[in-house]
Structure 1
């Protein structure tokens, strides 16, 4: 029969994999190993770091302590003192994650999600900005904007919102820092290469609506497909929205409303009735409504509803190429 040590060694992860799992920058893990001896006990072929469950448990405790404000040197000593003996470790579920999940009472309610999502959530709770930046850049580069948004970024943002809603005024700082880094990562990814000569899509949040991240993700995803877009951000005033539509002559206008309090039917009817161009060749935009705020409003003639980033891209691309 295999010993506990053999079972522990069966989980052998690289530093990058551990960084994604715990939501720590790989450079931070290497720094902790160099300064405090918190790192893998075994090196494959004497060179490559390979992390076992015991190694991961030790650095996870280090993360927990530093997240509570304990100085790194003191946290390292405390983590090493508290490290359990190999035969006292809690059993693991088949995928190698400890039962009960990491983070204790500060953990975000994520459910069944990708490991990158768990890593990002842990970094957010610790307010670890360098780790968030590294994780976001890696997941967008590897999976693209759409998959990164649907499977990592949005679930983490929603989990922070749920945690905030159930914890009073706590975790507001987590939401703000995470949102800022998500926005920054998406904007860095918003590079339109070889944009096609098509009328652009105009993206904006309705007046009073400050939640612009979904529209930022849509703009970046359109850019990945080489489709032109004009992103006007949060809370665009009605007159400015009208002027932007008139001057840019877009193929589609997408209006985002996060809540029913900002979803304005009169504004939608006004934009839907717009025309521009010379007499005899008037044009009107295809008006698309996105976001949960429109859910309680009845259908408005001349408009469509968007559901999800991936399907929204397909709808907009079809309109632009028509």
Structure 2
């Protein structure tokens, strides 16, 4: 090329705002496979391709997809939703048509100010699009890490589903169940790091009447990433079984989760804090940590309350790095657990 010639003009047939299939999938909360399936079955695909191969979605294309997502979220069959979306004429600015604000409006989750990934996850959950929910969760965990993904994406979506379920009677229970199951599955796919040989574990359990275990499942996965050994007992562990587990495992700390004041058993907390274990003359005692909003206003015997995954993770990691309770030294209780 002549070095004095002007640089070639950029292609005029591909708008700068055009997005890849993966970017559109993340924005709308569907899987790339679903988008390709819709394109193949219902001809609701991008108007342009880059170099004839790579899909590039314009704002008008995305507006049609958004309408189709809203319609399918309300239970409209995909074939009918595609016909409706293709029949709409998105405005020149790339926004959805005026009628597109109605489909899914009452079904939308009240997320507030959250990351775009959170809105995509919420849309996928409302549509009961299990493959998209799984892909959204794995992508969020891989890109942001467990703690940020939990605090900024997963937990707000779970809370929004809970609020929607509480305000809509029996509706949306299926959304909560599907999303919770996939969150648990995604957390279980996180591989723990090797820990210190012989280190005392951290015991995690819900109180006997508590059925909501996802927050301590997230804590268990985060501790595993740091190589902290965990003994996870999940939801609704009976009091006697909890006492036996503490005595048998000799944990560095015992974390009790209660979602509500009705499930926060204060007498149980006092009894767990008083458990001693080990051989006579070399008795050990675990640090009790109370987690969850149910413990609000509860004095904590020989321990502290945890506030949030990030700060709780730091508190427990510091305890795990301290003196082993099997030696008889319990270590200093944490000065503060953050917020």
**What TM-score comes out, normalization by structure 1 length?**
0.90
* Native 8 Å contact 2:288 2:301 kept in 1: no
Q: Is 2:52 the partner of 1:46?
A: yes
State the 1:256 CA deviation: 0.2
Distance in 1 (CA, whole Å) between partners of 2:171 and 2:124 is 16
Partner residue of 2:281? 280
Counterpart in the other structure of 1:315: 315
Q: CA deviation at 1:278?
A: 1.7
Q: Deviations over 1:186-240 (max 9, x none)?
A: 1122x22312221110000001100000010000001111111011000000000
Provide, for residues 144-176 of structure 1, a one-character-per-residue CA deviation record: whole Å limited to 9, x for no partner: 211111111100000111111222222111111
User: 2:63 maps to which residue?
Assistant: 57
Partners of 1:314 and 1:100 in 2: CA distance:
43
Q: Please give the alpha-carbon distance, in whole angstroms, between the structure 1 residues aligned to 2:256 and 2:200.
A: 17
> 1:126 maps to what in 2?
127
Partner of 1:72: 78
Asked if 1 retains the 8 angstrom alpha-carbon contact of 2:289 and 2:303, the reply is yes
Structure 1 residues 167 and 148: CA distance shift in structure 2, 3 A: same
Q: Are the equivalent residues in 2 in contact too, given 1:249–1:276 (CA < 8 A)?
A: yes
Q: Deviations over 1:247-290 (max 9, x none)?
A: 01110100000011111111111011111112221110011000
Change (3 A) 1:123 1:237: same
User: 2:74·2:103 contact (CA, 8 Å) conserved in 1?
Assistant: no
Q: Does 1:29 align with 2:35?
A: yes
State how far apart, in whole Å, the 1-side matches of 2:15 and 2:106 are. Answer: 29
Q: Which has the larger radius of gyration?
A: 2
Does residue 116 (structure 1) correspond to residue 117 (structure 2)? The answer is yes
**Any conservation in 2 of the 1:103–1:122 contact (CA below 8 Å)?**
no
Separation in structure 2 between the aligned mates of residue 86 and residue 219 of structure 1, nearest angstrom: 49
Q: In the aligned structure 1, how far is the partner of 2:91 from the partner of 2:290?
A: 57
C-alpha separation between the residues in 1 aligned to 2:312 and 2:93? 52
Change (3 A) 1:87 1:111: closer
What is the alpha-carbon distance in structure 2 between the residues aligned to residue 205 and residue 28 of structure 1? 37
For residue 87 of structure 1, report the CA deviation from its aligned partner: 6.5
8 Å CA contact 1:113–1:151 kept in 2: the answer is yes
CA contact (8 A) 2:251 2:286 kept: yes
| Counterpart in the other structure of 1:95 | none
Q: Which residue in the other structure is 2:176 paired with?
A: 175
Once the two structures are superposed, what CA deviation does each residue of 1:46-68 show, in whole Å capped at 9, x if it has no partner? Answer: 32211111111101111122223
Name the Cα RMSD after superposition. 2.0
Which position in structure 1 is the counterpart of 2:217? 216
Report the CA distance shift for 1:152/1:14 in structure 2 as closer, same or farther (over 3 A): same
Contact 1:260 1:296 in 2 (8 A): no
Unaligned runs of 5+ in 1: 1-5, 92-98
- Larger fraction in helix: 1
Q: Distance in 1 between matches of 2:102 and 2:318?
A: 43
After superposing the two structures, state which structure 1 stretch, 61-70 or 180-189, moved more: 61-70
- In the TM superposition, what are the counterparts of 1:126-275 in structure 2 within 5 Å? 126-189=127-190, 191-197=191-197, 198-275=199-276
Equivalents in 2 of 1:305, 1:238: separation in Å?
Answer: 20
Contact 1:9 1:53 in 2 (8 A): no
